[in-house]
Protein backbone atom coordinates (compact mmCIF):
# COMPACT_ATOMS: atom_id res chain seq x y z
CA UNK A 1 0.00 0.00 0.00
CA UNK A 2 1.61 3.31 -0.99
CA UNK A 3 1.11 6.46 1.06
CA UNK A 4 -1.88 7.72 -0.93
CA UNK A 5 -3.63 4.37 -0.64
CA UNK A 6 -2.85 4.19 3.07
CA UNK A 7 -4.41 7.62 3.60
CA UNK A 8 -7.48 6.55 1.60
CA UNK A 9 -7.74 3.35 3.67
CA UNK A 10 -7.61 5.31 6.93
CA UNK A 11 -10.16 7.84 5.64
CA UNK A 12 -12.58 5.05 4.71
CA UNK A 13 -12.23 3.57 8.20
CA UNK A 14 -12.70 7.02 9.74
CA UNK A 15 -15.85 7.55 7.67
CA UNK A 16 -17.17 4.16 8.76
CA UNK A 17 -16.56 4.86 12.45
CA UNK A 18 -18.56 8.09 12.29
CA UNK A 19 -21.25 6.61 10.04
CA UNK A 20 -21.80 3.66 12.37
CA UNK A 21 -22.15 5.83 15.45
CA UNK A 22 -24.44 8.26 13.63
CA UNK A 23 -26.60 5.36 12.43
CA UNK A 24 -27.05 4.13 16.01
CA UNK A 25 -28.44 7.50 17.06
CA UNK A 26 -30.54 8.05 13.94
CA UNK A 27 -32.10 4.57 13.86
CA UNK A 28 -33.09 4.80 17.51
CA UNK A 29 -34.58 8.27 16.95
CA UNK A 30 -36.56 7.04 13.94
CA UNK A 31 -37.75 3.96 15.86
CA UNK A 32 -39.15 6.27 18.56
CA UNK A 33 -40.87 8.60 16.11
CA UNK A 34 -42.71 6.14 13.86
CA UNK A 35 -46.51 6.07 13.89
CA UNK A 36 -49.13 3.95 12.11
CA UNK A 37 -50.04 0.27 12.06
CA UNK A 38 -46.65 -0.92 10.83
CA UNK A 39 -44.68 1.18 13.33
CA UNK A 40 -44.01 -1.46 16.03
CA UNK A 41 -42.61 -3.99 13.54
CA UNK A 42 -40.42 -1.44 11.77
CA UNK A 43 -39.25 0.09 15.05
CA UNK A 44 -38.21 -3.33 16.36
CA UNK A 45 -36.22 -3.98 13.20
CA UNK A 46 -34.54 -0.56 13.39
CA UNK A 47 -33.58 -1.08 17.03
CA UNK A 48 -31.98 -4.40 16.10
CA UNK A 49 -30.12 -2.65 13.28
CA UNK A 50 -29.00 0.07 15.71
CA UNK A 51 -27.54 -2.62 17.99
CA UNK A 52 -25.70 -4.09 14.99
CA UNK A 53 -24.33 -0.66 14.02
CA UNK A 54 -23.06 -0.12 17.57
CA UNK A 55 -21.34 -3.52 17.42
CA UNK A 56 -19.78 -2.49 14.07
CA UNK A 57 -18.58 0.77 15.65
CA UNK A 58 -16.87 -1.14 18.46
CA UNK A 59 -15.38 -3.71 16.04
CA UNK A 60 -13.89 -0.88 13.95
CA UNK A 61 -12.26 0.65 17.04
CA UNK A 62 -10.89 -2.78 18.03
CA UNK A 63 -9.52 -3.18 14.50
CA UNK A 64 -7.81 0.23 14.75
CA UNK A 65 -6.40 -0.69 18.14
CA UNK A 66 -5.10 -4.03 16.79
CA UNK A 67 -3.20 -2.28 13.98
CA UNK A 68 -2.00 0.64 16.11
CA UNK A 69 -3.98 3.31 14.23
CA UNK A 70 -6.52 4.17 16.92
CA UNK A 71 -4.75 7.45 17.69
CA UNK A 72 -5.29 8.50 14.05
CA UNK A 73 -9.06 8.30 14.47
CA UNK A 74 -11.62 10.72 15.83
CA UNK A 75 -15.20 9.96 16.80
CA UNK A 76 -17.86 12.42 15.71
CA UNK A 77 -21.59 12.33 15.19
CA UNK A 78 -22.48 13.39 11.66
CA UNK A 79 -25.30 15.72 10.64
CA UNK A 80 -27.37 12.70 9.59
CA UNK A 81 -27.80 11.79 13.24
CA UNK A 82 -29.87 14.98 13.58
CA UNK A 83 -32.15 14.28 10.62
CA UNK A 84 -35.73 15.55 10.94
CA UNK A 85 -37.56 12.39 11.98
CA UNK A 86 -41.03 13.92 11.59
CA UNK A 87 -40.99 13.01 7.88
CA UNK A 88 -43.20 10.24 6.51
CA UNK A 89 -42.30 6.62 7.22
CA UNK A 90 -41.56 6.10 3.52
CA UNK A 91 -39.13 9.03 3.51
CA UNK A 92 -37.38 7.81 6.64
CA UNK A 93 -37.07 4.25 5.38
CA UNK A 94 -35.70 5.56 2.07
CA UNK A 95 -33.12 7.62 3.99
CA UNK A 96 -32.05 4.61 6.05
CA UNK A 97 -31.77 2.54 2.86
CA UNK A 98 -29.56 5.20 1.26
CA UNK A 99 -27.29 5.13 4.33
CA UNK A 100 -27.08 1.34 4.14
CA UNK A 101 -26.12 1.60 0.47
CA UNK A 102 -23.38 4.10 1.34
CA UNK A 103 -22.11 1.72 4.02
CA UNK A 104 -22.14 -1.21 1.58
CA UNK A 105 -20.14 0.83 -0.93
CA UNK A 106 -17.57 1.89 1.69
CA UNK A 107 -17.13 -1.62 3.10
CA UNK A 108 -16.74 -3.06 -0.39
CA UNK A 109 -13.85 -0.63 -0.95
CA UNK A 110 -12.30 -1.51 2.41
CA UNK A 111 -12.68 -5.24 1.74
CA UNK A 112 -11.09 -4.93 -1.70
CA UNK A 113 -8.14 -2.93 -0.35
CA UNK A 114 -7.71 -5.39 2.53
CA UNK A 115 -7.66 -8.29 0.08
CA UNK A 116 -5.26 -6.52 -2.27
CA UNK A 117 -2.80 -5.77 0.52
CA UNK A 118 -3.38 -8.94 2.58
CA UNK A 119 -4.68 -7.14 5.66
CA UNK A 120 -6.03 -10.38 7.08
CA UNK A 121 -8.05 -8.96 9.97
CA UNK A 122 -9.48 -6.35 7.58
CA UNK A 123 -10.64 -9.06 5.16
CA UNK A 124 -12.47 -10.86 7.96
CA UNK A 125 -13.95 -7.76 9.58
CA UNK A 126 -15.09 -5.93 6.46
CA UNK A 127 -16.61 -9.05 4.92
CA UNK A 128 -18.55 -9.67 8.15
CA UNK A 129 -19.82 -6.08 8.35
CA UNK A 130 -20.54 -5.90 4.61
CA UNK A 131 -22.70 -9.01 4.86
CA UNK A 132 -24.65 -7.53 7.75
CA UNK A 133 -25.18 -4.19 5.98
CA UNK A 134 -26.56 -6.06 2.98
CA UNK A 135 -28.96 -7.86 5.30
CA UNK A 136 -30.01 -4.51 6.76
CA UNK A 137 -30.75 -3.13 3.32
CA UNK A 138 -32.65 -6.24 2.39
CA UNK A 139 -34.70 -6.20 5.61
CA UNK A 140 -35.74 -2.60 4.89
CA UNK A 141 -36.83 -3.47 1.36
CA UNK A 142 -39.76 -5.30 2.95
CA UNK A 143 -40.98 -2.08 4.54
CA UNK A 144 -41.88 -0.09 1.45
CA UNK A 145 -45.34 1.41 1.04
CA UNK A 146 -46.89 -1.79 -0.24
CA UNK A 147 -45.69 -4.30 2.29
CA UNK A 148 -45.31 -2.27 5.47
CA UNK A 149 -48.67 -3.17 6.99
CA UNK A 150 -48.28 -6.86 6.17
CA UNK A 151 -46.61 -9.42 8.39
CA UNK A 152 -42.88 -9.57 7.78
CA UNK A 153 -42.33 -12.50 5.47
CA UNK A 154 -38.84 -13.23 4.27
CA UNK A 155 -38.71 -15.60 1.38
CA UNK A 156 -35.16 -16.90 1.22
CA UNK A 157 -34.99 -17.07 -2.56
CA UNK A 158 -36.38 -13.57 -2.97
CA UNK A 159 -33.95 -12.26 -0.38
CA UNK A 160 -30.98 -13.91 -2.06
CA UNK A 161 -32.02 -12.47 -5.41
CA UNK A 162 -32.38 -8.94 -4.10
CA UNK A 163 -28.99 -9.08 -2.39
CA UNK A 164 -27.39 -10.45 -5.56
CA UNK A 165 -28.92 -7.67 -7.69
CA UNK A 166 -27.84 -5.08 -5.15
CA UNK A 167 -24.26 -6.29 -5.21
CA UNK A 168 -24.31 -6.25 -9.01
CA UNK A 169 -25.30 -2.56 -8.98
CA UNK A 170 -22.37 -1.44 -6.86
The residue ranges that bind Fe ion (CB under 5 A) are 20, 53, 56, 100, 133, 136
Question: Residue 80's CB: how many other CB atoms inside 10 A?
Answer: 17
Q: 53 or 138: whose CB is closer to Fe ion? A: 53
Q: 1 or 101: whose CB is closer to Fe ion? A: 101
Q: 1 or 61: whose CB is closer to Fe ion? A: 61
DSSP assignment of 40-71 equals HHHHHHHHHHHHHHHHHHHHHHHHHHHTT-GG
Alpha carbon distance 47, 29 (integer Å): 9
Q: What are phi and psi of 68, to 5 degrees?
A: 70, 30
Name the minimum Å distance from CB 2 to Fe ion: 28
Name the minimum Å distance from CB 135 to Fe ion: 8
Q: 28 or 56: whose CB is closer to Fe ion? A: 56
Contact 135, 106 (CB under 8 A): no
Name the minimum Å distance from CB 3 to Fe ion: 28
Name the minimum Å distance from CB 166 to Fe ion: 13
Nearest to 27 by CA among 140, 144, 162, 151: 140
Amino acid sequence: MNETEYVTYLQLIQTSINDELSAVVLYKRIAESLTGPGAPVIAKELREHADDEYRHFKLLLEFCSHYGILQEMSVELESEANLDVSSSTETLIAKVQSLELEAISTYKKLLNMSKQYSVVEGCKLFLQILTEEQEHYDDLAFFDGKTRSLPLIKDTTEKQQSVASLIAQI
